[in-house]
Amino acid sequence: MPATVGLELRSWAPLLALIVSCVGFGLAAPGFATVENLWTIADRSAIPLILAVGTTFIILQGSIDLSIEGVMAASSLTFAMCVLNNRTGLDLGLFSLVLATCAGAGLGLLTGLVTACLRVPSFMVTLGVWSASMGIAMLLSGDQPPLIKDPMLRALGLGRSLAVPNLFLVAVAVVLLGYILQSYTRFGRYSMVIGGGEDMARLLGLPVDGYKVLAFAFGGLLSGLGGALESARIGLGHVDVGAGQMFATITAVVIGGTSLGGGRGGVLQSALGTLTLAVLTNGMIFVGISPYAQKSVQGALILLAALVTTWPLRSRLRIVK
């Protein structure tokens, strides 16, 4: 049956896109297919993976999150000013990672409450939260961004454990957590249902608003974690720590096969999409594509990947928005 074939192809297409790009770059550039480069790609994709997991649930429910960069900035500054740094007298160590993550979760919670309870479209709310949290970050930053002096957290951000980058290990844990949430909890299942048809879910008596708030809080939490970890890596709290991550994350989620309309996709697909993007940016440097052409090449490849992933979905009646 076409429907079944479509379903199968759909879930395999993102993996196919990833494999094809790996093989392609591997053939074109000899240094690409090495273990060392595998870890380079893993390190590059660590923070985008964490962000993609959070965003997946929001998009699965049919909402959108444009606040990623702002939340990352706010949590980055929170983190940098709580660890041993050159601006405040604090030295809270690992606890500041928890604080920064909670700050992100708080901002996400705020987004969720305004979206679900006050019925403002998530597009507008997250845009507002983006701007507001960017403002908080700028206030905290003042005229001198705080430098992180805690050697343990710097080692977490820069170091490796048994050759594997630490941040990638964190990212794998987050992806697993996301997968468990998606597959084995009501939150995951109902998110799918809400995205598939919110009116239906409400008629069924599901606590739709609650799950929406939860999804935004979880997304904020992971943006917060991502912002703090990125700071640990580059060594300071910075308002631009998430620059460019919002579009990259949404792109990764969508080329992974999670539909922007909601109700279709999942955490593992988003992870594949993220890895594909990381392979593309890494591979283009290996192959030696001129930076002047890279943007257009990347755009073309993203279009191609999106086409591959959505090809089986071109059914007659599907509504594309």
Partner 1 sequence: MTRAMSCPAAMTACVAGIVIAATPAVAAEPICDKSEIRLVNSMREIAQPYHANLDKGGRLFAAWAGLKNYVLQLNQGDSDKQISLMRLLVAANPRCTVFNVEPNADLVVKPMVDAANRSGAWIVTHWAHNEGLHPFDGNDHWIAHVAVDSLEAGVAISTRLVDAMGRTGGVVALQGRLDTDPARKRFAGLQQVLQHTPGVTLLDQQTANWDRTAAFPIMQTWLTKYGGRIKGVWAANDDMALGALEALRAVGLAGKIPVVGVDGIPEAIAAVEKGEMVATVSSDAYYQGSIGLAMGTCVLTGQVPLPASWPKEHREFYLRLVVITHDNAAQYLREPQPETYVGDWQCDKLWSRSTGKAF
Binding flag, residue 234, partner 1 (CB under 8 A): yes
Of 44, 75, 108, nearest in space to 228 by CA: 75
What are the beta bridge partners of residue 160?
165
Structure token pair of residue 48 = 């985008």
Q: Does 286 bind partner 1 (CB under 8 A)?
A: yes
Closer to partner 1 at the Cβ: 47 or 222? 47
Go through the chain and tell me how many residues it has.
Answer: 321
Residue placing its CB nearer to partner 1 in the complex, 69 or 198: 69
Which residues, in sequence order, are bridge partners of residue 236?
A: 147
DSSP H or E segment with residue 161:
strand 160-161
Query: C-beta of 243: minimal distance to partner 1 in Å?
Result: 5
Region from 26-34, 107-115, 210-218, 268-276 binding partner 1, contact rule CB under 8 A: 26-34
* Residue 31 binding partner 1, by CB under 8 A: yes
The Cα 13–Cα 104 span in angstroms is: 33
Q: Are 101 and 225 spatial neighbours (Cβ–Cβ below 8 Å)?
A: yes
Task: Select the span of 27-35, 91-99, 109-117, 202-210 touching partner 1 (CB under 8 A).
Answer: 27-35
Q: Does 298 bind partner 1 (CB under 8 A)?
A: no
Window of 60-68, 207-215, 249-257, 283-291 that interacts with partner 1 by CB under 8 A = 283-291
Pair of tokens at residue 89: 């007298």
* 20 burial level (CB within 10 Å; 0-12, 13-18, 19+): middle
Q: Is 3 helix (H, G, I), strand (E, B) or coil?
A: helix
Kindly tell me which residue out of 230, 276, 302, 305 binds partner 1, with binding defined by CB under 8 A: 230
Applying CB under 8 A, does 151 fall inside the site for partner 1? Answer: no
Residues 241-260 that bind partner 1 (CB under 8 A): 241-244
* 69 token code pair: 């960069």
Quote the least distance from Cβ 293 to partner 1, whole Å.
11
* Distance in Å, CB of 31 to partner 1, minimum: 5
Site string for partner 1, 43-62 (x = CB under 8 A): xx------------------
Q: CA torsion angle for 234, 289, 244, 87 (degrees, to 10)?
A: 20
Binding partner 1 (rule: CB under 8 A), the pick from 89, 163, 292, 317 is 292
**Helix H segments across the chain?**
2-28, 35-60, 68-82, 94-118, 122-141, 151-158, 166-184, 186-196, 198-203, 208-234, 245-255, 267-287, 291-310
198 sits near partner 1 (criterion: CB under 8 A): no
The correct pick among 15, 16, 158, 308 for binding partner 1 (CB under 8 A) is 158
- The tokens 């390190």 sit on which residue? 43
142 binds partner 1 (CB under 8 A): yes
For residue 309, which of 278, 265, 250 has the smallest C-alpha distance? 265
Q: Which listed residue (281, 297, 298, 310) binds partner 1 by CB under 8 A?
A: 281
- By beta-carbon proximity to partner 1, the closer residue of 209 and 240 is 240
Mark the segment that binds partner 1 (CB under 8 A) among 93-101, 231-239, 250-258, 298-306.
Answer: 231-239
Q: Which residues bind partner 1 (CB under 8 A)?
A: 29, 31, 34, 36-37, 40, 43-44, 138, 141-144, 147, 158-159, 230, 233-236, 238-244, 281-282, 285-286, 288, 291-292, 294
